[in-house]
Chains A and B, each alone.
Chain A
């Protein structure tokens, strides 16, 4: 699916097909929602692992709650309500509610070209990206960005001082930025 396709999607029309059990239409809708949510959460949290988890959680909830969509109403406001509920619920569960600004305005994806969409999705494919880093920095990135540990906790696990962990983390990010032109 290209960005142009995404912009032209008639969500209400697709949802009508989805409610009739059309699996192909559903796959197209999920593709579109996946990209939209991934972009939204990356822009908001700047934590790829968290964004990925959130997208999957929201889509699972959406899957279970499709029957609560009123076909006479607009799809996106309803979907955004489901997504917001699930995001807050998930962040509370992960104790990340206070560390992110959930009231920040929603930024809808503005994908100008298919290549931009591709870049956003692959750029943050951290598993691949952090292979350029030394092993200890990889560990640190995973602990802080994947598992949500604080610098103190990550430092304790790696057996280094907090200030060292912070420096190492920023160096790693700087190197990643340089390597991947982020």
Chain B
């Protein structure tokens, strides 16, 4: 070994400090994650909920929307966090497919149903309102938390990690929006609640280098 190589090794070894094993699934971090979720939902319910929410929560289609978004929040967050620790598993990247396929399957089914039920009718572009803006604002806090946790590890797939983290945070934003938005039109819900989730997630993978990858 040359002296240059020895210098490199001693420069690394001299900067070693005691390390504590980091897992994003520790009670401490999970507590923080769930507290953030609950805080956002409570704040959102306090600020803006639709007046007919209690009756809607007894309807199957509305409950299934809520369930879908909750599953997206958790599957996205789990993928991002689980994937932030290097593992000797070659199929790790397939984990990220779960929230993506869920989004595609769910929305594909509803879009087809919507088109069939509106066949022959004129297409009216739904009103946007402030739904997407609200979704973005609500997503900031959970996204910051998730990115902070993912960056503590070493994500072997930074683009997919960013995708999953943003998908999870944006789904939480969409959930908050969904509880307050008075529209029952699937066209509006699809365009301004569900589509932004995927668009933001895909866009974030281009910025993964800045968002996730520090190594």
Count chain B residues whose beta carbon lies closer than 8 angstroms to a beta carbon of A. Answer: 28
B28 at the interface (CB under 8 A from A): no
Contact B215 A27 (CB under 8 A): no
B47 at the interface (CB under 8 A from A): no
Taken residue by residue from 12 to 25, chain B's Cβ proximity to chain A (1 for < 8 Å, 0 otherwise) reads as 11111111111100
B9 at the interface (CB under 8 A from A): yes
Taken residue by residue from 19 to 33, chain A's Cβ proximity to chain B (1 for < 8 Å, 0 otherwise) reads as 111111011001100
B71 at the interface (CB under 8 A from A): no
Task: Tell me if A's interface is mostly helix, strand, loop or mixed.
Answer: helix
Q: With the chains together, A65 CA to B12 CA distance in Å? A: 13
Task: Tell me if B's interface is mostly helix, strand, loop or mixed.
Answer: loop
In whole Å, how far is A14's beta carbon from the nearest beta carbon of chain B? 12
Residue numbers in A under 8 Å from B86 (CB-CB) = 65, 68, 78, 81-82, 85
In whole Å, how far is A82's beta carbon from the nearest beta carbon of chain B? 5
* Chain B, residue nearest A27 (CB): B13
In whole Å, how far is A32's beta carbon from the nearest beta carbon of chain B? 10
Residue numbers in B under 8 Å from A121 (CB-CB) = 1-2
Residue numbers in A under 8 Å from B88 (CB-CB) = 77-78, 80-81
Contact A34 B9 (CB under 8 A): yes
Interface members, chain A 33-76 (any B CB < 8 Å):
34-35, 56, 59-61, 63-71
A125 at the interface (CB under 8 A from B): yes
What 10 A-B pairs have minimum CB-CB distances, sorted nearest first?
A21-B18, A77-B88, A85-B156, A27-B13, A65-B154, A81-B86, A67-B19, A26-B13, A30-B9, A67-B22
A contacts, CB < 8 Å to B: 18-24, 26-27, 30-31, 34-35, 56, 59-61, 63-71, 77-78, 80-82, 84-86, 121, 125
